[in-house]
Amino acid sequence: MKILLLTSEFTPANGGIGTYAREIAAAAWELGADVTVVAPDYGEPTDDSDLPFKVSRFHGGLHSMRDLPAKVRLVHAETAKSYYDIVHAADWPFFIPVAMSRHQINGRMMMTVHGTEINETQTPLKRLAIRGTGVFGPRAEIVANSGFTRDLFCDRFPVSRAQINAVSLGVSDFWFGPLKRRSRARWLYGIESSRIAMVTVARITRRKGHHLTLAALERLPDHIRNSVTWLVVGPPGESDYVQEFRDMVDQSPCDIRLLGSLHDEEIRDLYSGADFFCLTGTPDSSGRVEGFGLVYLEAAACGLPSVASAIGGVPDAVMNGTTGLLTEAEPNAVAGAISRMVLDSGLRIDLANAAKMHAHEMSWRRCAGETYGLPYTPLSHPSSGDGPIRLAPMFEDAADARHPLVH
């Protein structure tokens, strides 16, 4: 099977779509497909020799509407010079270019929707462009990254559900790699062995809900709040919100460590010293939505259960009561979930075990197999060499883990 995957975000740029394009291409290649990825060069020479599939770079960076004519010409040229079984637009900026080249595409036409762009394409001009170019015509196969995204798409566009396949994202093998010893990881970040370490990994932006998590922590009884260390990882978002959040942290009685941006290797090490993951996103008036929530799966792969707001596609990534605790995006509700996670070590351990097993089942090979119709073997348990499933005890001593914090 020959696959042409077109994306406006790719390595070395960070971002959810870039991760999706890279990982699904690598997984399809592992399953035997001949994959070519067309991606921007970001104005710099790029060495793609470490990638197993072919990469063709075009001059450009993150998408703007003025890039559309160039992308139309690019897709026309790429599909004219070779036959592909599947031409896959991995993100919105390539939907119209692919649709406009459909007369010379003899294979399947595929388009992936991630969530936010569904709302962003509701302006009259964009809807007119979509209708005029026949983007979601009968030949288009639409892939949604979650059940939520599929339902949102059906609500916004008059397209048959038969054209839409909801395929949840996968989690990279990297996150199942060797973990740093728990005591070593905690020592590196100055976390006392008797404390609960809660970690958040996300850009510090309003819709990610850092302020909501902080408000929830401050509502906990003193004896619970004073047992928690909150580790916050992520680059800054909107400057006004970042400053507002930093001011809140400075005035808070909670133990909060703002760690800034970390490399994935450092995040994985940090996870090994943590007890649970927490990311409590909030509804965003701009129309941006959490289409899935890949970071919850990455934490799960390292043995961390999650506390999360039940918004957008997050319930597709966190199974309430099984791999984590879902809650309303409201301080008292979040406080209740955090309190349960802190006090009940047995619950925390059960959720951690289930979270890691679920993450193993949600591989990128599964995602590529379901997306492209490639044969693959589902994983029902961790592969050999990964070691035992990691527990997330409250205390370093396993005997103490049987006794939750009581005051």
pLDDT in tens, 267-304: 999 999 999 999 999 988 766 777 788 899 999 999 99
Beta bridge partners of 140: 109
pLDDT tens, position by position, 92-150: 999 999 999 999 999 999 999 998 888 888 888 888 888 999 999 999 999 999 999 99
- pLDDT score recorded for residue 380: 53
In contact, 171 and 271? CB cutoff 8 Å: no
Classify the phi-psi angles of 135: left when phi > 0, otherwise alpha if psi is within -120 to 50, otherwise beta.
Answer: alpha
Q: What is the DSSP letter of 180?
A: P
CB-hemisphere CA count at 13 Å for 298? 22
CA distance to 36, 42, 171, 308, 406, per residue, from 276 (Å): 38, 36, 18, 11, 19
With vertex at residue 115, the alpha carbon angle to CA 331 and CA 361, rounded to the nearest 5 degrees, is 85
With vertex at residue 81, the alpha carbon angle to CA 29 and CA 72, rounded to the nearest 5 degrees, is 90
Domains of the chain listed by start with CATH number: 2-166 (3.40.50.2000), 173-402 (3.40.50.2000)
In contact, 16 and 46? CB cutoff 8 Å: no
- pLDDT score recorded for residue 25: 98
Beta bridge partners of 39: 57
Among the residue ranges 95-99, 211-215, 280-284, 306-310, the one predicted with the least confidence is 280-284
Q: Residue 389: what are its φ and ψ, rounded to 5°?
A: -65, 135
- pLDDT score recorded for residue 43: 87
Q: In the structure encoding, which two tokens stand for residue 278, read together?
A: 């927490």
pLDDT tens, position by position, 234-243: 999 999 999 9
Among the residue ranges 10-19, 342-351, 392-401, the one predicted with the least confidence is 392-401
pTM: 0.85
- Res. 4 pLDDT band, cuts 50 70 90: very high
Share of the chain above pLDDT 90, in %: 74
For residues 46 and 374, the model is more confident at 374
- pLDDT score recorded for residue 403: 28
| pLDDT at position 386 over 50 | no
| pLDDT at position 400 over 70 | no
- Res. 398 pLDDT band, cuts 50 70 90: very low
pLDDT tens, position by position, 154-179: 999 988 888 899 999 999 999 999 98
Give the C-alpha separation, 199 to 273, whole Å.
10
pLDDT tens, position by position, 339-371: 999 999 999 999 999 999 999 999 999 999 999
pLDDT tens, position by position, 143-156: 999 999 999 999 99
- pLDDT score recorded for residue 115: 84
Share of the chain above pLDDT 70, in %: 92
- pLDDT score recorded for residue 121: 82
Q: Residue 406: what are its φ and ψ, rounded to 5°?
A: -130, 135
Q: Residue 74: what are its φ and ψ, rounded to 5°?
A: -65, -50
* Cβ atoms within 10 Å, residue 207: 22
Average pLDDT of the chain? 89
- pLDDT score recorded for residue 379: 63
